């Protein structure tokens, strides 16, 4: 698994923090990603259209 930290800015507070961006390289990595998603810790949206709710006014 390639893990890359990215500096991010909180929309709510403007604070700077980090998220971890994961690139799976093996089937085991995919399972780990799956576990993170199941646990609600992983953002799995690739296209803007993956989250229709985000665009509701």
Partner 1 sequence: MPVRGEQLERRVRRMDAELSRLERAATRAITGEIADASRRLEREIRGLYLDALADTRGEDVAVREARARSLLARVEGLTDLTADVPDGELDVLVTGAAEAGASAAEDEVALYEDEARSARPRNTALAAIATTAVAAIARNGRQHQERIERHVVDGLAAGRGWGQVRTDLRQEAGILQRSAERHVKSTSVDASDEGHKATFEANGVQYEQLLATMDERLCGYCANRAGRVYELGDIQLPLHDHDRCTTVPWKREWQEAGLTDDEWFEAHRAESLARAQEGQRTGASPSERRRGLDKAPEPVWTPRTDTVAAREAVERIPPTPAPPPVVRPARPRVTEKTRSRGPTRPPTEAERVAARREFQGEWVAGARRKRSVALKHGAQQELGIRGLVYQTRRFNFTQAEMGRARIAARKMYEDTQAAFRRQGVAEVRLYRGVKTAYEDVGVIESWTTDINVARKFAGARGDIIEEVIPVERILISHRSPGWRDGRFGAQSEYVVMPHRPRRQ
Site membership for partner 1, residue 34 (CB under 8 A): yes
Residues in contact with partner 1, counted by CB under 8 A, come to a total of 44
* Among the listed residues 10, 28, 8, the one whose alpha carbon sits nearest the alpha carbon of residue 18: 8
- Applying CB under 8 A, does 45 fall inside the site for partner 1? yes
- Rounded Cα distance between 34 and 51, Å, is 18
Q: Nearest distance from residue 7's CB to partner 1, in Å?
A: 8
28 in contact with partner 1 (CB under 8 A) = no
Query: Rg of the chain's alpha carbons, rounded to an integer?
Result: 14
Q: Which residues bind partner 1 (CB under 8 A)?
A: 2-12, 17, 19-27, 29-30, 33-37, 39-52, 54-55
């Amino acid at each position: 698994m390639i893990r890359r930290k990215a500096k991010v800015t909180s929309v709510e507070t403007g604070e700077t923090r980090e998220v971890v961006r994961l690139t799976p390289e093996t089937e085991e990595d995919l399972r780990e990603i799956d576990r993170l998603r199941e646990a609600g810790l992983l953002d799995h949206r690739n296209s803007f259209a993956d989250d229709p709710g985000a665009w509701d006014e």
